[in-house]
Structure 1
Amino acid sequence: MKSTTRGTLAAVLTTMAAAAGALAATPAAAVGTVPVPVPLGGAEQALGVELPEVGGAIPVPTAGTPEGPRFTEGRIMPEETLPQLPLDGGLPGLDVRSPLPHLLGDGSDRIGVDAPAADLRTLTPGLAVDAPLTRPAAESPGLPQVKLPEAGVLTPTVRTVPALGLALGTER
């Protein structure tokens, strides 16, 4: 095998290995949340007691693209003059595990509260306005007719499904 062929083969294998490693490691932006551990190890050692394990997750909001203008018959301006912007993110998560005194007998009793980060989908408010004129009519000599102006606010929406888990157990 020639040295140029070996070099090309090594470059291809290196590129494939790097691509496989990039696929295996998911960045925080792709996951949607950033984990936030609360380090209490130093306080445990200084105080000589077992403290709760606390961690959380902070969502990474991402903006979507608004829908384009939709023109309808009889209107001069589009339906949504100021379109609603979708924003996707999440509610922050929390995970707390705490030791308890021996309530259930021998061993180390624990209580835990888990509120995982929940998806949050929102639409910002929008504005719908129509001009006080109609489109030019064929009956009149190409002149628009006068009508009452129209204005409306498109209400924002929020959709999410939060969850909460409570666990009580014994470690032996």
Structure 2
Amino acid sequence: MKPTTRGTLAAVVTGVAVAVGATATPAAATGTVPVPVPLDGVAKSLHTEVPGIGLELPLLVPGVPETPRYVQGRLIPEHALPRVPMNGVLPGADLRLPLPHALGPGFDHVGADLPASDLRALTPGLELDAPLSAPDPQHYGMPNLKMPEAGVLGPVLQTVVGGDLGAGPGR
């Protein structure tokens, strides 16, 4: 292969990589994917103003699960089925509804802006312990019997939701 062909091929591959990286970075950086709802065709065909709708869909990112921890006196480690943290955002929406002077002069639109909000979650987990105790030196290293233990760790969700509702003139 000639050096000029190799250089051209390298430039094309680099350009494609930059283009793909440029389109993927904003969604990955914000944690949401914007989804516009195209209603322009409806507005043009009906010759009227239609609501404006824009949505944001979340991208969930799984974290590193908790590791099992050995506790003195237990045969099965803590966090037998570990909880997995999930980070992401709740979906957002931007809605605008035309109301021609329904609220009086100067009020042509009603809008709601519900931005995407951060979400932190933990999946359910499981705690177990065997019906035997740790080896007991007073019984020549034989374990004692005890009641088995089982518990379910519930899921955890943490977020703060906000939004704006307003009315005003213009689009």
* TM-score (normalised: structure 1): 0.80
Distance in 2, matches of 1:44 and 1:36, equals 19
Question: 1:83 is matched with which residue?
Answer: 82
2:159 corresponds to which letter in structure 1?
T
Matches within 5 A, 1:34-45: 34-45=33-44
Return 5+ residue gaps in structure 2 as ranges. 1-9
Distance in 2, matches of 1:25 and 1:36, equals 15
**CA apart distance, 1:112:** 0.8
Question: 2:7 is matched with which residue?
Answer: none
**CA apart distance, 1:98:** 2.1
1:87 corresponds to which letter in structure 2?
M
Change (3 A) 1:91 1:25: closer
Q: CA RMSD in A?
A: 2.7
**CA apart distance, 1:87:** 1.5
Distance in 2, matches of 1:123 and 1:73, equals 26
Distance in 2, matches of 1:136 and 1:146, equals 11
1:152 corresponds to which letter in structure 2?
G
Matches within 5 A, 1:57-72: 57-72=56-71
Distance in 2, matches of 1:146 and 1:105, equals 81
**CA apart distance, 1:24:** 10
Distance in 2, matches of 1:46 and 1:24, equals 32
**CA apart distance, 1:25:** 7.5
Change (3 A) 1:67 1:127: same
Distance in 2, matches of 1:25 and 1:130, equals 46
Question: 1:8 is matched with which residue?
Answer: none
Equivalent residues, number: 161
Matches within 5 A, 1:1-172: 26-102=25-101, 103-105=103-105, 109-171=108-170
Q: Do the aligned partners of 1:134 and 1:145 also contact (CA within 8 Å) in 2?
A: yes
Runs of 4+ residues over 2 Å off in structure 1: 22-27, 102-106
Q: Do the aligned partners of 1:104 and 1:170 also contact (CA within 8 Å) in 2?
A: no
**CA apart distance, 1:89:** 2.2
Query: CA offsets per residue over residues 113-137 of structure 1, 9 Å max, x none?
Result: 1111122221111110000111112
* TM-score (normalised: structure 2): 0.81
Q: Do the aligned partners of 1:32 and 1:59 also contact (CA within 8 Å) in 2?
A: yes
Return 5+ residue gaps in structure 1 as ranges. 1-10
2:105 corresponds to which letter in structure 1?
G
